[in-house]
């Protein structure tokens, strides 16, 4: 009982003392950790790094620190007085570098007692800065495209302002270069423009054609690869004069279909003196194709050569050189050797600026936003509608009017697109301008097999089927889009996707694509 007053006095003294100690300790820790945060995230550049050199390994744009809105923007490194200490997880086992460093730090007598010889000058352990690999530097635009799914405008003015290099004139001096040209099977014939430009500049190129985005086609069509291969080859030969077509591969860069077989075919085709040039129109999937090749290869340091891939057309703005040893196609040349290093060169997407049409020009602004927000496109689900004379079919900003058919028979429209269609009477729509409308005649004698495709740039296509005999149709496009944004394809690319089921149209058409 006599100790109770002393215990109370001790409690009264210890509580405020501990509170003051904890408070001072927390404040001291906050102050101690606030300084590094201020140094790391400060926007003041060091005077020695105001001029940046080199290009971004993700998009190929030259580094700059003047305009945050332009590609290649990067904040230079900050001045830090003390080097950053890297704290590794404690482990009972020592790696080889740490073991050699501990032996080197010992005095000579201790090493003699342990029976360890004195290390030579070349065997001295390197510093921590040498053993730690340099961090891969990307520009601000690539960081937002990779981690924040950044969306960019699709107008030609923006693409012209950001495009750094859009010429293939460097191929004129090459003698039979090896070119890998990508096309989009869901956007033919517009994705063939890269082959057309290559044929006009260097017709003697050894071309390996890649038909990408095969995962967008219906699963039933993928069972007939030989028919699809023959159709694509005949379309290319009818439009383009290429002397040496090495191979045609049907692949999907997002799914990885056909990539291993192409990599094996490339290893058999490439010569010891070859550089590989990857060409194609904008948004055909060149960057995703290269990243998939890096993932499947067994090359050295392949992860540091990954390029920036996104749904925005024109993501790659400059040439990106990747050593062939990263793909396992060539041994790595040692430093200082006379062996020339060969590269796979990723080029910017080719734009057909003469037509004046921007990518996905037939999509509404809301549809463009939805298309760019998706990481991957979903496969087409063919849906067939029945249209009679006097009705109109709308897909995006494009419109098809059925003016007349033989004996008034209906026309079957099989839609290959992820956009919701709309069907209405032609009398409810405004009269089209003669400059923006095109008339054509379609013929069909089979009930279920399609004979003609109406293709829309960046929006898919429609296959016409049904025993309607002859039909007169009118295609109406917006006034700000040229007539090149629509194409008639005969014969049909996928003529057997109508299986006798006709879908009834529901209001806005969103149920048709689900």
Cβ(104)–Cβ(125) under 8 Å? yes
**Which residues are within 8 A (CB) of 500 and not within 5 positions of it... i.e. 6 or more apart?**
448
Q: Which of 80-84, 453-457, 494-498: highest mean pLDDT?
A: 453-457
* Cα 269 to Cα 394: distance, rounded to the nearest angstrom: 46
Phi, psi at residue 249, to the nearest 5°?
A: -115, 135
What residues make up the domain containing 496?
Answer: 365-512
- 177 and 312 co-located in one domain: yes
Residue 499 domain-assigned (yes or no):
yes
Tell me the per-residue pLDDT of 332-350, one tens digit each, with 9 for 90 and over: 766 556 677 889 999 888 8
Q: Which of residues 431 and 46 earns the better pLDDT score?
A: 431
- 370 and 488 co-located in one domain: yes
- CA separation, residue 73 to residues 134, 149, 160, 288, 307 (Å): 19, 17, 18, 23, 17
**Which residues are within 8 A (CB) of 205 and not within 5 positions of it... i.e. 6 or more apart?**
171, 174, 176, 177, 178, 179, 198, 242, 244
CA torsion sign for 341, 346, 348, 350 is: positive
* Cα 180 to Cα 322: distance, rounded to the nearest angstrom: 14
Q: What is the model's pLDDT at position 461?
A: 93
Phi, psi at residue 279, to the nearest 5°?
A: -120, 165
* Cα 24 to Cα 362: distance, rounded to the nearest angstrom: 65
Tell me the per-residue pLDDT of 138-193, one tens digit each, with 9 for 90 and over: 888 888 888 887 777 666 666 666 554 556 778 888 888 999 999 999 998 889 98
Q: How far is CA 374 from the centre of its chain?
A: 12
- Residue 187, domain CATH: 3.40.50.300
Cβ(188)–Cβ(461) under 8 Å? no
* Cα 305 to Cα 320: distance, rounded to the nearest angstrom: 9
* Cα 96 to Cα 349: distance, rounded to the nearest angstrom: 46
Least confident of 45-49, 63-67, 349-353, 480-484: 45-49
Cβ(465)–Cβ(450) under 8 Å? yes
Q: What is the model's pLDDT at position 161?
A: 62
Residue 253 domain-assigned (yes or no):
yes
Residue 135 domain-assigned (yes or no):
no
Cβ(157)–Cβ(164) under 8 Å? no
- 236 and 280 co-located in one domain: yes
- 418 and 473 co-located in one domain: yes
Q: What is the model's pLDDT at position 400?
A: 94
Instruction: Calculate mean pLDDT across residues 474-485.
Output: 88
**Residue 143 has which token pair?**
């960081």
Instruction: Calculate mean pLDDT across residues 218-242.
Output: 90
Q: What is the model's pLDDT at position 413?
A: 93
Least confident of 122-131, 418-427, 471-480: 122-131
Which DSSP state fits 406? Answer: G
Q: What is the model's pLDDT at position 216?
A: 92
Q: What is the model's pLDDT at position 23?
A: 43
Domain count of the fold of the chain: 2
Q: What is the model's pLDDT at position 92?
A: 59
- 177 and 323 co-located in one domain: yes
Q: What is the mean pLDDT of the chain?
A: 78
Residue 22 pLDDT > 90: no
**Residue 144 has which token pair?**
């937002």
Residue 236 domain-assigned (yes or no):
yes
Percent of the chain with pLDDT over 70: 72
- 323 and 468 co-located in one domain: no
Tell me the per-residue pLDDT of 32-58, one tens digit each, with 9 for 90 and over: 444 443 333 333 343 444 456 788 888
- 410 and 454 co-located in one domain: yes
Q: What is the model's pLDDT at position 431?
A: 86
Residue 21 pLDDT > 70: no
Residue 41 domain-assigned (yes or no):
no
Residue 466: strand, helix, or coil: coil
Residue 228 domain-assigned (yes or no):
yes
**Which residues are within 8 A (CB) of 409 and not within 5 positions of it... i.e. 6 or more apart?**
466, 467, 468, 469
Q: What is the model's pLDDT at position 247?
A: 92
- 197 and 269 co-located in one domain: yes
* Cα 505 to Cα 385: distance, rounded to the nearest angstrom: 7
Residue 252 pLDDT > 50: yes
Residue 352 domain-assigned (yes or no):
no
Instruction: Calculate mean pLDDT across residues 483-512.
Output: 79
Q: What is the model's pLDDT at position 87?
A: 52
- 304 and 410 co-located in one domain: no
* Cα 308 to Cα 286: distance, rounded to the nearest angstrom: 10
- 180 and 244 co-located in one domain: yes
Least confident of 27-31, 432-436, 452-456: 27-31
Task: State the residue for tokens 């490339």.
Answer: 266
Cβ(457)–Cβ(485) under 8 Å? yes
- 378 and 308 co-located in one domain: no
Residue 18 pLDDT > 50: no
Q: What is the model's pLDDT at position 376?
A: 66
- 228 and 369 co-located in one domain: no
Percent of the chain with pLDDT over 90: 27
Confidence of residue 488 (pLDDT cuts 50, 70, 90): very high
* Of 346, 377, 395, the domain-final residue: 346
Q: How far is CA 35 from the centre of its chain?
A: 39
* Of 318, 346, 374, the domain-final residue: 346
Residue 303: strand, helix, or coil: helix
* Cα 514 to Cα 222: distance, rounded to the nearest angstrom: 20
Residue 111 domain-assigned (yes or no):
no
Cβ(289)–Cβ(296) under 8 Å? no
Q: Which of residues 319 and 45 earns the better pLDDT score?
A: 319
* Of 287, 316, 346, the domain-final residue: 346
> What does the chain come to in residues?
514
Q: What is the model's pLDDT at position 112?
A: 66
Q: At what angle do helices 286-296 and 259-269 cross, to 10 degrees?
A: 80
**Which residues are within 8 A (CB) of 341 and not within 5 positions of it... i.e. 6 or more apart?**
323, 324, 325, 333
């Amino acid at each position: 009982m006599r100790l109770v007053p002393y215990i109370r006095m001790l409690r009264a003294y210890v509580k405020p003392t501990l509170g003051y100690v904890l408070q001072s300790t927390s404040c001291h820790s906050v102050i101690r950790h606030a300084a590094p945060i201020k140094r790391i995230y400060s926007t003041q550049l060091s005077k020695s790094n105001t001029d940046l050199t080199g290009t971004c390994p993700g998009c190929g744009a030259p580094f700059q620190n003047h305009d945050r809105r332009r590609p290649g923007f990067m904040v230079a490194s900050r001045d830090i007085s003390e080097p950053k200490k890297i704290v590794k997880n404690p482990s009972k086992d020592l790696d080889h570098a740490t073991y050699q460093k501990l032996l080197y730090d010992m005095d000579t007598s201790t090493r003699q007692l342990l029976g360890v010889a004195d290390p030579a000058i070349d065997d001295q352990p390197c510093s921590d800065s040498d053993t730690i690999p340099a961090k891969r530097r990307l520009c601000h635009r690539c960081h937002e495209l990779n981690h924040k799914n950044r969306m960019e405008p699709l107008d030609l003015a923006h693409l012209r302002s950001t495009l750094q290099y859009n010429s293939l004139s460097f191929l004129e001096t090459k003698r039979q270069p090896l070119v890998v040209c990508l096309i989009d099977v869901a956007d033919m014939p517009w994705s063939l423009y890269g082959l057309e430009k290559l044929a006009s500049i260097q017709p003697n190129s050894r071309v390996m054609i890649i038909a990408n985005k095969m995962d967008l086609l219906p699963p039933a069509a993928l069972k007939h690869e030989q028919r699809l291969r023959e159709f694509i080859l005949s379309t290319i030969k009818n439009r383009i004069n290429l002397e040496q077509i090495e191979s045609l591969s049907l692949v999907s860069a997002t799914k990885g279909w056909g990539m291993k077989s192409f990599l094996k075919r490339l290893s058999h085709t490439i010569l010891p003196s070859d550089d590989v040039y990857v060409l194609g129109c904008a948004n055909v999937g060149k960057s995703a194709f290269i990243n998939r090749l890096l993932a499947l290869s067994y090359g050295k340091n392949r992860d540091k050569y990954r390029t920036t891939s996104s749904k925005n057309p024109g993501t790659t703005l400059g040439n990106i050189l990747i050593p062939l040893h990263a793909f396992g196609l060539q041994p790595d040349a040692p430093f200082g050797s006379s062996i020339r290093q060969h590269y796979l060169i990723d080029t910017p997407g080719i734009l057909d600026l003469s037509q004046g049409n921007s990518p996905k020009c037939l999509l509404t602004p809301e549809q463009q936003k939805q298309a760019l927000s998706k990481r991957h496109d979903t496969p087409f689900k063919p849906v067939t509608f029945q249209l009679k004379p006097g009705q109109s079919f709308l897909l995006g900003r494009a419109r098809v009017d059925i003016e007349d058919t033989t004996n008034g028979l209906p026309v079957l429209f099989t839609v290959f697109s992820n956009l919701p269609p709309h069907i209405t009477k032609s009398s409810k729509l405004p009269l089209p301008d003669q400059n923006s409308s095109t008339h054509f005649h379609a013929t069909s004698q089979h009930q279920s097999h399609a004979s003609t495709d109406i293709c829309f740039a960046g929006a898919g296509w429609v296959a016409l089927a049904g025993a309607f005999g002859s039909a007169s149709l009118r295609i109406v496009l917006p006034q700000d889009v040229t007539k090149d944004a629509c194409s008639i394809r005969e014969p049909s690319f996928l003529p057997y996707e109508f299986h006798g089921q006709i879908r009834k149209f529901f209001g806005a058409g969103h149920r048709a694509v689900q």
